[in-house]
Chains A and B, each alone.
Chain A
Amino acid sequence: GIQVEQSPPDLILQEGANSTLRCNFSDSVNNLQWFHQNPWGQLINLFYIPSGTKQNGRLSATTVATERYSLLYISSSQTTDSGVYFCAVERPSGYSTLTFGKGTMLLVSP
Chain B
Amino acid sequence: DAGVTQSPTHLIKTRGQHVTLRCSPISGHKSVSWYQQVLGQGPQFIFQYYEKEERGRGNFPDRFSARQFPNYSSELNVNALLLGDSALYLCASSLETENTEAFFGQGTRLTVV
Could you list which residues of chain A lie within 8 angstroms of chain B, going by C-beta atoms?
4, 30-31, 33, 35, 40-43, 45, 48, 86, 88, 90, 92-103
Contact = CB atoms under 8 A, between A and B. Distances in A.
Interface residues of B, number: 32
B31 A96 contact: yes
A35 B43 CA distance: 11
Contacts of A4: 42
Contacts of A94: 55-56, 97-98
A93 B98 contact: yes
B25 interface: no
A93 B56 contact: yes
B92 to A, nearest CB: 7
A45 B92 contact: no
B48 interface: yes
B76 interface: no
A90 B98 contact: yes
B41 A95 contact: no
A110 B22 CA distance: 39
Nearest to A43: B104
B55 A95 contact: yes
Closest 9 CB pairs of A and B: A100-B42, A95-B56, A95-B55, A43-B104, A48-B101, A41-B107, A42-B106, A96-B98, A97-B45
Contacts of A93: 56, 98
A33 B102 CA distance: 8
A96 B47 CA distance: 9
A27 B58 CA distance: 19
A40 B9 CA distance: 10
A109 to B, nearest CB: 22
B106 A30 contact: no
A103 B42 contact: yes
Nearest to B40: A102
